[in-house]
Amino acid sequence: MQNDKQVQFPYAYVLVLFLIIAILASSGALCYKYRQLVSQIDEFTIQAKNVSKTLITTYADAAELAYATRSTDQLLSLIQESKNIKGIKEVFFVLDNGTIIAHSDTEKTKELKGNIANDEFYYNIDMILYPHTKQSRELFIFNYFVPDLPLPFTTIIRKYIQQFLYKDINTNSWLVTKAVYAKGKSIGTINCIIVKTPIYDMMNSYYKELLYMLIIICGAALVFSLCTGIVLFIKQKRVLQEVKEFSAHIHDKSSQIRSIIKEAIPVKE
C-alpha cells in the first residue's frame, strides 16, 4: 500500500501535453483560416470591381444616350435594376455642376433638391467629378466612406485588421466613377457606390468558424492528454506492482537460501 501511494497521477505531463497539442493545432488552424480569409477577401474585391466596371461602362453608354436624346427612361430602368445586385448601394448620373440627372433612389434626389452639392458630407464632389476634371475616359475606383454606414469592429480591432488582414478597413465602400461624354466633351460622371458589407460578413463568419474550431481542438487535445495520462498512470502502477511482486519473490528465495545454508552448516553445542 505504501508503494501504491507513491504513484501519483501525472498531472504535469497531461498539462504539458495538452498545451503542446493545443498550441500546435491551434496555430495550424489559425494560419489556414487566415490564408483562406485573405484569399476570399481578395477574390471578392476583384470580382466586385470587375462587375462594377462592366456595369458602370454600360451605365455610361446609357447616360450618354440619355443626354443626347433628352430621355432618361432607359437609363433609369438600368439604374433601378442595380438595386437587385448585392453590394450596390446607389447609382447616379450627375453633371459637372452636381445636378442629378438620374439616381437609383428617387427619395434621395428629392432630399438633395436635385444636386449632390447640397450634401457634400455624403457626396465627395472631388472624387465623384474626378474623371470629368481630368477629362479622362478611364474608369476610376476609389475607397469611399459613406456616413450612414457604421464601420465594423472597435478602433483597436480595426487597427490590427488594417495591419494584418485588410488595409482598407477604415473605408466602408468603393466609389466607381466614369466620365460621360457628349459631342466629344465630358459633361459629368456616372457613379456607383458599392458597400464592403460582404467583406465584414466574411470576417465575422470566419471569426465564428475559427472560434468553434479552436474549441473543438482544445477539447480534443484535453481528452487525448487525459487518456494518455490515464494510460501512463495505469502502466506506472502495473510496473510498480510487478517490481513489488518481483522483490517479494526475491525476498522469499533469499529466505529459503538462508534457511538451506543455515541447515547445512553444523552448529556446535
CATH code of the domain containing 193: 3.30.450.20
Output the nine-digit C-alpha cell for 264.
547445512
Cell of 238: 502495473
Overall domain count for the chain: 1
Report which DSSP code applies to 191. E
Q: Does 13 reside within a domain?
A: no
Q: Which residue has the cell 481542438?
A: 217
Q: With a threshold of 0.95, does the pTM exceed it?
A: no
Q: Does residue 205 fall inside a structural domain?
A: yes
Position 239 in a domain: no
Name residue, grid cell 510487478: 242
Classify 144 as helix, strand or coil.
strand
Separation of alpha carbons 148 and 142, rounded Å: 18
- Domain enclosing residue 190, as ranges: 26-210
CA angle 175, 181, 183 (to 5 degrees): 175
Query: Where do we find the cell 470576417?
Result: 203
Decide if 258 is inside a domain: no
Residue 143, in any domain of the structure: yes
Q: Report residue 256 as a C-alpha cell.
A: 529459503
Cα 97 from chain centroid (whole Å): 41
> Where do we find the cell 487525459?
226
88-95 sheet: strands from edge to edge: 100-103, 88-95, 185-195, 173-182, 139-144
| Phi, psi (degrees; rounded to nearest 5) at 182 | -140, 125
The C-alpha torsion from 137 through 147 and 52 to 105, rounded to 10°, is: -90
Q: Can you spell out the DSSP letters for 198-231?
A: HHHHHHHHHHHHHHHHHHHHHHHHHHHHHHHHHH
Q: What is the pLDDT along the chain (269 residues), one digit of tens a residue?
A: 444 457 788 899 899 999 999 999 999 999 999 999 999 999 999 998 898 888 999 999 999 998 888 888 888 888 888 777 888 899 999 999 999 999 998 899 999 999 999 998 999 999 999 999 999 999 999 999 999 888 889 999 999 999 999 999 999 999 999 999 998 899 999 999 999 999 999 999 999 999 999 999 999 999 999 999 899 888 877 777 666 666 655 655 666 666 666 665 655 54
Q: Which of 238, 239, 227 minimizes the C-alpha distance to 17?
A: 227
Residue labelled with grid coordinates 473605408: 171
Distance of CA 241 to the CA centre of its chain: 54
Q: Decide if 48 is inside a domain.
A: yes
Q: Is 140 helix (H, G, I), strand (E, B) or coil?
A: strand
Instruction: Flag whether 267 is in a domain.
Output: no
**Does 71 map to a domain?**
yes
